[in-house]
Structure 1
C-alpha cells in the first residue's frame, strides 16, 4: 500500500496537495531508466541540449502566474512577489545556457612537438538534486540546468512542502522535447532519499538545506566516493560603515532581512553599524519594518507572509524571547501586527538592539523575520564580529569607499562578498560557502566543473 505525504498550507493549515510517496519498485524503475538514457543524452549535441533547456524556461515563464499561486499556497510567499522566482529562474538558466559552450569546451594545453594534449569535461552520470521549500525553483535550477547541459541525467526530489515544483519542472522539460529518462522526479521520504544516496545508483548529490540534513547526506554518501554539493545554513552579516549612503543601506538591509519572511539561507540576520550613524540607522530601519503588512500570502496587499509552519515561527519567537530576557531591546510592537500569534505561522517582524554574541539570536540561524543590530566603533570591531560565526555564506559592507570596502571584504570568511547590496545571487558568480555553510559550488562557469569530471587525452602522433 502506498504511503502519502500531505502538504499543509501555511495560509490556513489546510491540505493543499497530497501525493503518493514512491515505493521501491518505482524508485528502481526510475533509476534504471536514467541509467539507460544517459549515454544517448551525453552524445546529444550541446546545441540541442541548449535548445531544450531554453524551451523549458519559456514554458515555465508562460506558467508563471499559476506557479506563483502554487508557491503562495505551498510555502507562504506573498502573491505579489511569488512570480519573481520564475523570473530569477529564467535569469540563471539563460546565463548557464549561454555559458555552457565555453565552460564545457576542452582545455587545450600549449603546443608540444609530436603531441596533442587536452582535457575534456565528461558527464558524471546521474545527478540527484534535492531541493528545499524556501526557493524551490531557484535552488533546483542552479544544478538542474548545468547538469543537463553537461550531459548528465537528473533525478529531482523536492521538499514535501513544495512537491508541485518538481512536477512543474518535469512538465516543462518534457514539453521542450527532453528524451524520456533524462529527467525524473520522485516524491520521497527521508528514509528512501537516504537509501538512494547510499545505494551507489547516483553519481552526484546536489543538496540545499540545513546543516543537520547536510551531515546526514554526507553520512549516507560515505564510502561511495561520489560528488557532493552542499548548500547549507547561513547567519549572514551586514556592516554599515560611517560613510554609507544611509537611505540606501537601510532599504537594502531591511529588504535583505525580511524578504520571504527571512526564510533565506543568505538573508541578513545580523547587522553591525558604526557608532556615528547608529541611531539614525536604527530609527530609519524601525520605520521601514513597521511599514510591512503581515497577512495571508494570497492577499495581494500582503508584504510579509506567514512562515512555512507554526513550529518555524515558534522557534523564532523563542529566540526573540530569550534575547529579550538577556537584555535585548525590541523596537517593534507586536500589536501592530494583529495576525501574529503563538502556535501559528504568522509572526510579526522584529528588530532588536542591545544584542551580543552571547545570544542565540546573533549566532544561530533564525530563518525568520528578525534581525539584531549592534553598534561598533569601527572596521576592526566589525570584521571581528562578522567573522565570529560558524557560518560563511555571504557578507555585505555598505560604504562609499569602494577601495577600503574591497580590502575589508578580502578579510571576511565568506563565500560571497557584497558592497552596497545583499541577498542576491548573480549567475555569473560562483555560489559557494565556507565553514558550516557547506561545500561545492553552483552557478558561474565554475559550477559546471562540479557536475563533470576531467578526462585527460595524451596523444603521441608517432610511436
Structure 2
C-alpha cells in the first residue's frame, strides 16, 4: 500500500511514516461525515461550545509533547513550538468559540405586520480542510473549530510533513466527547485530494498553501458549484518612516523576517526605509540578525532551526546568489553561523541591500530567512513599491503618526494593514488576502459566513 514519509529536517531521519488512505477508507469517511453532520447540526450551540472548549483543554494539557513532535516534524526550535498551542491556537480557538452565538444568530429584518421574517445561518454540511506544515495548528484551527461550531462535519487532510497534527485533533475531539464522524482525518496524496474535492458530499474546501496548490484546488472546485477559501502566498512588505521608533521597528522586523526560519506566509520579506533613517536602520538590523543562533532545534538555546527541507534552503540560496550577481550586497557572512551548511536544511539568515524590483528576491516569495531592504524618498514611493507585487496578504508601517498610517493604509493593496506590528493574526479581525494571496477569509464573525449558507424564512402568520 502507498505510504508517506515525514523526513525530519533535524537529521534527515524518517520521523513518521503513514499509509495513505485506501479508496474504501475515503468512502467510509465521507459516508460517516454526512450521517454525523445531520445529527450534529441538531446539537445546541452550548453543547458544541462545551465540546470544543474541552478539545482546546486537551491541546493545552499536552502542549509540551505536541511542541516536541512539531519540532521534529518541521524544524522550529523547541523553545517556540509549544507556544503555537499555548498562545496562537488557544487564542484563536477560544475567540471563535466565544463569538459563535453572535455570529450564528438569526439575522432579524424590519417588522411587517402579519409576517415573521428572518435569515438563518445554516451549516454547509461537510467541510474539507487542507492544511500546511509551516504553522500546522494555527492555520488549521482557523477553519476546524468554527466549522464544527457552525454545525458542520470536518475532514482534515494535513501536510505530509506534519501528519501527527491531524492525529492530535482526532485525539482532542475524542477526549472532548465529539460524536463519531463529526471530525475525521485522512492521509492523502495530491491526486486523492482532488478526488475528494470533486465528490458531491464535500460542501466547502478550506485550503492553505502555495499559489500553485491553490490553482490545483480551484481547478477541482470548478468541477462543481461549491466555493473554497484559499489562503495562499505572500511577499509581505514593511515601510519604516522617518518618524518611526527605530529600536522598536528593528526588533520587530528582524523577528518578523526570521521567526520560523522565515517560513511564514505573512512573514516580512521586503522592507522599505525612509532615506533619512536608512543607514541607522540597516546597521541595527544587521547587528541584531547576527545575534541569532542557528542549530539543532531540540536545543533550548537555538533561536533559528533548519528550514523544512534541503530543497527549500537551496531555493533561497539561489535567490540570494542571483540578487548578488545583479548588484545586491549580502550583509551577513554565513560563516558567522557554523551550522550553516550547503546541501542541508540549515540556512543562515541573510540581509540584502542594494536591491531592486528587477530581482526575484524582491518580487517572488522566498519563504526563508532572507529579507531585502531598500531606501525610499517619500510615502508615495513606498506605496508604489509595496503595491508592486502579485501578492497582498499583510503589510505594515512603522511610524508615530496614526493619521499618516491610516492614509497610507487606504492606498496599500493588502488584506491586513498593521501599524507598529507585523506577522500576527488578530482573531477578532478577518484574515484575508488580495491578488494572488487568495480569496475568502477566516477568523472574526465574518469568518463564519463562509462556513454557513443563508436560509430565508418568510412566514405569513395572518391569513
The question of a shared fold, defined as TM-score above 0.5 by the shorter chain, is answered with yes
Q: Secondary structure at the match of 1:395?
A: strand
1-structure distance, mates of 2:45, 2:133: 31
Q: Which residue of 1 aligns with 2:186?
A: 186
1-structure distance, mates of 2:391, 2:308: 23
Q: Which residue of 2 aligns with 1:285?
A: 285
Q: Which residue of 1 aligns with 2:68?
A: 69
1-structure distance, mates of 2:225, 2:428: 29
Q: Deviations over 1:86-142 (max 9, x none)?
A: 021110000011000000000000111111110000000000000000000011100
Q: Which residue of 2 aligns with 1:24?
A: 23
Q: Give 1:218-367 correspondences, 5 Å limit.
A: 218-367=218-367
Q: Give 1:47-66 correspondences, 5 Å limit.
A: 47-66=46-65
1-structure distance, mates of 2:404, 2:364: 29
2:122 counterpart of 1:125: no
Q: Which residue of 2 aligns with 1:12?
A: 11
2-structure distance, mates of 1:281, 1:63: 41
Gaps of 5+ in 2: none
2-structure distance, mates of 1:364, 1:297: 28
Q: List structure 1 segments (4+ residues) > 6 angstroms apart after TM superposition.
A: none
Q: Secondary structure at the match of 2:431?
A: coil
Q: Secondary structure at the match of 1:194?
A: helix
Q: Secondary structure at the match of 2:122?
A: strand
Q: Higher mean Cα deviation, 77-86 or 110-119?
A: 110-119
1-structure distance, mates of 2:134, 2:307: 10
Q: Secondary structure at the match of 1:82?
A: helix
2-structure distance, mates of 1:200, 1:301: 50
Q: Say what the alpha-carbon RMSD is for the aligned residues.
A: 0.6
Q: Deviations over 1:7-55 (max 9, x none)?
A: 0000000000111110101000011000111111000000000000000
2-structure distance, mates of 1:277, 1:163: 46
Q: Which residue of 2 aligns with 1:201?
A: 201
Q: Give 1:128-147 correspondences, 5 Å limit.
A: 128-147=128-147
Q: Secondary structure at the match of 1:154?
A: strand
Q: Which residue of 1 aligns with 2:78?
A: 79
Q: Secondary structure at the match of 1:453?
A: strand
Q: Secondary structure at the match of 1:425?
A: coil
Q: Secondary structure at the match of 1:450?
A: helix
1-structure distance, mates of 2:38, 2:8: 41
In the TM superposition, residue 459 of structure 1 has moved relative to its aligned partner by 1.1
In the TM superposition, residue 342 of structure 1 has moved relative to its aligned partner by 1.7
1-structure distance, mates of 2:373, 2:139: 29
What is the TM-score when the length of structure 1 is the normalising length? 0.99
Q: Which residue of 1 aligns with 2:99?
A: 99
In the TM superposition, residue 201 of structure 1 has moved relative to its aligned partner by 2.2
Q: Give 1:366-385 correspondences, 5 Å limit.
A: 366-385=366-385
Q: Higher mean Cα deviation, 336-345 or 140-149?
A: 336-345
Q: Which residue of 1 aligns with 2:449?
A: 449
Q: Deviations over 1:229-258 (max 9, x none)?
A: 000000000000000000000011110000
1-structure distance, mates of 2:23, 2:35: 18
In the TM superposition, residue 384 of structure 1 has moved relative to its aligned partner by 0.2
2:214 counterpart of 1:214: yes
What is the TM-score when the length of structure 2 is the normalising length? 0.99
In the TM superposition, residue 444 of structure 1 has moved relative to its aligned partner by 0.3
1-structure distance, mates of 2:339, 2:228: 41
Q: Which residue of 2 aligns with 1:421?
A: 421
1-structure distance, mates of 2:364, 2:53: 40
1-structure distance, mates of 2:136, 2:68: 14
Q: Secondary structure at the match of 2:16?
A: strand
In the TM superposition, residue 223 of structure 1 has moved relative to its aligned partner by 2.9
Q: Secondary structure at the match of 2:195?
A: helix
2:462 counterpart of 1:462: yes
Q: Which residue of 2 aligns with 1:148?
A: 148
Q: Secondary structure at the match of 1:375?
A: strand
